[in-house]
Amino acid sequence: MWEILSLAKHTFRESRRKKVMLVVGLFVVVVLVSTELAPAGYPDAKPRLALSAALNSMAIFGLVTVVFLAASSIPDDIQQRTIYSLLVKPLPRWKLIVGRTLGFVFVATALVVVMGLFSWAFIRYTARRYLSRAQQAEVLVGRRFLHAQTVQVLRGGEVEHVAPTAEGRVWVHGALDAVARYTFFNVRPTGIWGKAVYGELEFLSNAMGMGVLPGVLTVTNPTTGKSEDVSVLYVEHKVTSFSFSPDLVDDLGSVLVEVKRTDEADALGVLREDLRLRLRPVSFEWNLTKALLPLLLGLTVAAALAVMGSTVLSPMVSICFGFFVCFLGNIVEGMRNMAATLSQAGTPLLDMYAGMYQLTAEAPPPWVVMINQTVYYLLTGLSLAVPDFRKFYAAHFLVDGLNVHGWFLGWAALYAALYAGGGLVLAWLLFRRREMT
């Protein structure tokens, strides 16, 4: 264990001598310039763009730096013959691999901490400059929600069994006695944000053009029967906020929310997730910290895979391999979508005239089918083999003002352990058979 830590410290010191922290300066320039591109007419545009630019730039610069260092480490040791002084101690080759990788994790940690501190300070400064306190509370905090346990369609006070659509949406239409009832449990006072219970909703509707329907939410205490009507607007593709008195929550933490329309011609398509109550949000600092943790896990995976390639490849080829793997890992969804398109009948890859075979009912030539199948299996195999780095990016949570979920962090940790561990094992299997000549 001490040999691994000693080698990791030595790797970290080597990286410092290579002026790796100069990357932070380039990162700062990119974030500052990107933020200035925000449109002037929207006060929250600059803080949101600063968030997006900072987190995405951290991922890009972190990957480039870690891959460049890790992919060239062992080949440089072999070329400079410094590796012999390590292996004659004797130092098992697996300890050399783990120590080197751990050293690059230290480098990634230092980069993430420094860039994260700058991002926090700059985003806070930008928010205070362009937003009011109330706007900052909406943009920077990590909102958390409580979702309904059940959603039922009632008609005339009786439960009506309505077949949901393919995506699980239930449509409420017809007479005005048809309503959608959301039942919430465990609405605790400690989780209420402010002096009222706040919530938000977003439904599909049959409104055309403006996409706005007037509606009413009836909030009821299921124990006392006390209720309150809240007038709202159902706006297509936009979140609508509402609030009600905490007195409407009973002692068991239960509350009923009925979604109603004001015109029989109106129709609403509701999902269980479409109407939710807000819980106390997490602070921006804690949310940003949680967003940086999966990013560090992604850099760990990149370092392990780059070290794996460096065990059998020359420095330049190893660096190209590392960058290629990271590039593929960032377009996994695109590869899967293209593979799904090619798997559909009558969708040849080399159809130079869009829809030619579908319109003429002419079968594609055999060579086109062969190329389609080859590309399909290649894309499918690559999308399964390379890590999906999107699983380590939490920028969308912060840009949307949402709390970084615990399940996201847990899945990122498990995913990183799988790929980083597999990369280190494969690196050891390859490196132990290599002759040092």
At 219 the pLDDT is 94
Residue 418 pLDDT > 90: yes
What is the pLDDT averaged over residues 132-137? Answer: 82
pLDDT at residue 193 tops 50: yes
pLDDT band, residue 419 (cuts 50/70/90): very high
**What is the number of other CB atoms lying within 10 angstroms of the CB of residue 303?**
30
pLDDT at 92 over 70: yes
The answer, yes or no, to whether residue 178 has pLDDT greater than 80, is yes
Cα distances (angstroms) measured from residue 366 to each of 134, 340, 350, 356? 63, 20, 12, 16
- Tell me which of 122-131, 141-150, 213-222, 370-379 is least confident: 370-379
Find how far residue 407's CA is from the centre of its chain. 11
pLDDT at position 356 is 47
pLDDT given for residue 390 in this prediction: 92
Per-residue CA distances from 426 to 163, 303, 359, 404 (Å): 50, 13, 49, 32
Span 50-70, average pLDDT: 91
Mean of pLDDT values over 36-43: 73
Question: What's the pLDDT at 183?
Answer: 94
pLDDT at 90 (0 to 100)? 65
User: Per-residue confidence at 227, pLDDT binned at 50, 70, 90?
Assistant: very high
41 or 212, which is more confident: 212
**Percent of the chain residues past pLDDT 90, beyond the cut:** 32
Instruction: Name the CATH architecture for the domain at 143-282.
Output: Sandwich (2.60)
pLDDT value at 166 more than 70: yes
Predicted confidence (pLDDT) at residue 316 exceeds the cutoff of 90:
no
What's the pLDDT score for residue 298? 94
| pLDDT grade for 354, boundaries at 50, 70 and 90 | very low
pTM value is 0.82
Domain extents in the chain = 2-134+284-329+393-431, 143-282
User: Residue 175: pLDDT above 50?
Assistant: yes
Count how many Cα atoms sit within 13 Å of the Cα of residue 350 in the half-sphere of its side chain: 12
Q: Taking residues 385-410, report their average pLDDT.
A: 91
Report which listed range, 130-144, 282-296, 331-345, is most confident: 282-296
Name the band, by pLDDT with cuts 50, 70 and 90, for residue 138. confident
Query: For residues 216 and 262, is the Cβ–Cβ distance under 8 A?
Result: yes
SS3 265: coil
Which H or E element spans position 245? none
- Cα 295 to Cα 67, 92, 299, 374, 412: the distances in Å are 14, 30, 6, 34, 9
